[in-house]
């Protein structure tokens, strides 16, 4: 079963509710906080059902004393700071500081950050199609995305980008350099790439000119582990994830002759994403029961998601892999399957992010990402700062998931990835059920 978009009982504003650890901002973000939102509205317009005008009207007016204090600080800084400062910049920084002081997940986003966040949420962006790692002061290509300009040009994983449009890439400008790889479709970018081992002495430098295009970011990957047993990796939750899961399960079922005997869902290193996507995926495997609930001060931040009849794999046992980097929307899916008696949880204690962020576009092209609710598992637990303890702790769970087997190759993932092997063994053992059900 697959949830239809806009399904009765699932409020349309949910896509505006955001989850994530905050580790995803940056080029390709290796995943992202992810939201799906409309373009910036005029004041008073609706953002996925959340009225900006109504929200603003419920706030208390700023006390006169507080307003005077703020004006006095602004005046003293503007007049007396050792270097001239722009009052407009000061006010922007004051607004950023106000929001950032609330918690580690709330933020005032400028137009560029907002655009990055929306691109990551939608599962596509305009660029050259590479995942990059900025560690150790270098911009290293982790992988080229399928059908991307980078792949067509001959770039490879392990290549180090040393110049972009003639500008050197170094530790001081890693973030800015990564942002340069994005740009409007049809625009070009020139790269100097170091390929080989060691430093420049043992590596060759190659020049590439690429034309940027729209690149699709797959949030899932799947393969058959053994006859009848499927593997589904969800890297993050974007608005495209539910459709990707539907397609992956259909493919796995076809490879199994129409019916799966068991499924491993790998949520290791999944930082979260779109709440509605996680809820939809949970409903794909549940016949009934609460998926998640949330409570906040805004009416729109109070909700409960409930599963509807239908199961994509007809009740076949599920083992879910998690680790300390499984956060937010990933924890929602893990808790929903486990506490509804549908899956065994294997790995390490999860991250423990139990709050919901709403993305509120502002009239000047920026956006406010604000914590508006706490969410609760089907058992009514808040996992914020606590995480979820798995049914079976695996010492090797913190290792990064192994790469998926290439299409057409014999399955080797279970031999190369110890937690996957353990999950497969659990599925083969019998009908899997967690030790704690609710």
pLDDT category, 57, cuts 50, 70, 90? very low
Write down the pLDDT at residue 224. 96
Q: For residue 374, what are the CA distances in angstroms to 27, 54, 303, 352, 431?
A: 29, 21, 11, 12, 34
Q: Which one has a higher pLDDT value, 8 or 130? A: 130
Q: Which one has a higher pLDDT value, 59 or 81? A: 81
Ranges of beta strands (E only) in 60-212 are 107-109, 124-127, 130-133, 139-144, 160-164, 167-168, 188-196, 203-211
Length of the chain: 438
Return the percentage of the chain with pLDDT > 90, whole number.
Answer: 55
pLDDT at 5 over 50: no
- Per residue in 147-172, pLDDT tens? 899 999 999 888 899 999 999 988 77
User: Looking at 11-25, 151-165, 290-304, which range is the least confident one?
Assistant: 11-25
Write down the pLDDT at residue 25. 29
- Per residue in 88-127, pLDDT tens? 889 889 999 999 999 989 999 988 788 878 877 777 788 9
pLDDT at 435 over 80: no
pLDDT at 259 over 90: yes
Q: Does the annotation count 7 as an active-site position?
A: no
| Secondary structure of residue 96 in the 3-state scheme | helix
State the chain's maximal CA–CA distance in angstroms: 76
| Secondary structure of residue 341 in the 3-state scheme | coil
d(CA 199, CA 177): 20
Write down the pLDDT at residue 20. 42
Write down the pLDDT at residue 27. 27
d(CA 170, CA 136): 9
Query: What are phi and psi for residue 433, nearest 5 degrees?
Result: -140, 140
Write down the pLDDT at residue 123. 73
One CATH from 2.30.42.10, 3.90.1200.10, 3.30.2270.10, 1.20.1440.130 for 124-216 = 2.30.42.10
Write down the pLDDT at residue 177. 82
- Tell me the Cα Rg of the chain: 23
Which of these, 36, 25, 19, lies nearest to 267 by C-alpha position? 19
Active-site choice (156, 328, 363, 396): 328
Q: Does the annotation count 156 as an active-site position?
A: no
CATH (residue range 220-429)? 3.90.226.10
Q: What is the mean pLDDT of residues 178-188?
A: 88
Q: Which one has a higher pLDDT value, 171 or 378? A: 378
pLDDT at 289 over 60: yes
Write down the pLDDT at residue 409. 78
pLDDT category, 237, cuts 50, 70, 90? very high
Q: What is the mean pLDDT of residues 221-247?
A: 96
Q: What is the mean pLDDT of residues 355-366?
A: 90
Write down the pLDDT at residue 50. 25
d(CA 144, CA 152): 9
Active-site choice (213, 353, 382, 403): 353
What count of Cα atoms within 13 Å lies in the side-chain half-sphere of residue 31? 27
pTM: 0.74
Q: What is the mean pLDDT of residues 230-236?
A: 96
Write down the pLDDT at residue 60. 64
* Contact yes or no for 188/211 (Cβ under 8 A): yes
User: Looking at 5-9, 31-35, 414-418, which range is the least confident one?
Assistant: 31-35
pLDDT at 188 over 90: yes
**DSSP assignment letter at 274:** B
Write down the pLDDT at residue 115. 80
pLDDT at 3 over 60: no
pLDDT at 42 over 50: no
Q: What is the mean pLDDT of residues 310-336?
A: 97
Residue 433 CB burial class (10 angstroms; 0-12, 13-18, ≥19): middle
pLDDT at 11 over 70: no
d(CA 183, CA 119): 12
Q: Which ranges of 81-173 does DSSP label H, i.e. alpha helix?
A: 87-100, 111-122, 149-153
d(CA 2, CA 424): 25
Which of these, 179, 186, 188, lies nearest to 208 by C-alpha position? 188
Instruction: Compute the mean pLDDT over every residue in the chain, rounded to the nearest whole number.
Output: 82
Numbered ranges of CATH 2.30.42.10 in the chain:
124-216
The helix (run of H) or strand (run of E) holding residue 39 is none
Q: Which residues of 383-411 are buried (b: 16+ CB within 10 A; e: fewer)?
A: beeebbebbeebeebeeebbeebeeeeee
Numbered ranges of CATH 3.90.226.10 in the chain:
220-429
């Amino acid at each position: 079963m697959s949830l239809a978009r806009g399904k009765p009982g699932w409020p349309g504003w949910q896509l505006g509710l955001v989850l994530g650890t905050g580790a995803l901002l940056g080029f390709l973000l290796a995943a992202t906080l992810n939201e799906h939102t409309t373009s910036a509205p005029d004041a008073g317009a609706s953002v996925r059902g959340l009225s900006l005008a109504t929200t603003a009207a419920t706030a208390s007016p700023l006390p006169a004393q507080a307003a005077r204090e703020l004006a006095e600080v602004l005046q003293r800084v503007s007049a007396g700071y050792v270097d001239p400062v722009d009052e407009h910049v000061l006010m922007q920084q004051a607004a950023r500081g106000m929001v950032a002081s609330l918690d580690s997940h709330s933020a005032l986003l400028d137009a560029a950050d907002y655009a990055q966040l929306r691109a990551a949420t939608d599962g596509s962006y305009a660029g050259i199609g590479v995942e990059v790692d900025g560690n150790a002061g270098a911009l290293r290509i982790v992988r080229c995305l399928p059908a991307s300009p980078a792949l067509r040009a001959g770039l490879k994983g392990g290549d180090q980008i040393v110049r972009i449009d003639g500008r050197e890439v170094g530790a001081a400008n890693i973030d800015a350099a990564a942002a340069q790889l994005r740009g409007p479709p049809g625009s070009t970018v020139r790269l100097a790439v170091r390929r080989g081992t060691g430093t420049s002495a043992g590596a060759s430098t190659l020049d590439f000119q690429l034309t940027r295009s729209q690149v699709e970011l797959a949030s899932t990957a799947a393969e058959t582990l053994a006859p009848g047993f499927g593997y589904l990796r969800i890297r993050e939750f974007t608005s495209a994830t539910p459709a990707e899961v539907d397609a992956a399960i259909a493919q796995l079922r076809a490879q199994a002759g129409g019916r799966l005997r068991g499924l491993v869902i790998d949520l290791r290193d999944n930082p979260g994403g779109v709440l509605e996507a996680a809820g939809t995926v949970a409903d794909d495997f549940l016949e009934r029961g609460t998926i998640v609930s949330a409570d906040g001060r805004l009416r729109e931040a109070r909700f409960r998601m409930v599963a509807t009849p239908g199961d994509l794999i007809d009740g076949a046992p599920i083992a879910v892999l998690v680790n300390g980097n499984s956060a937010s929307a990933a924890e929602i899916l893990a808790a929903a399957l486990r506490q509804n008696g549908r899956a065994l949880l294997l790995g390490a204690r999860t991250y423990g992010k139990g709050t919901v962020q709403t993305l509120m576009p502002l009239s000047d092209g920026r956006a406010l990402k604000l914590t508006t609710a706490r969410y609760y598992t089907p058992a009514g637990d808040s996992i914020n700062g606590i995480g979820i303890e798995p049914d079976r702790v695996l010492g090797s769970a913190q290792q990064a998931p192994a790469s998926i087997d290439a299409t057409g190759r014999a399955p080797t993932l279970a031999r190369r990835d110890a937690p996957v092997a353990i999950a497969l063994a659990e599925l083969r053992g019998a009908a899997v059920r967690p030790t704690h059900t609710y």
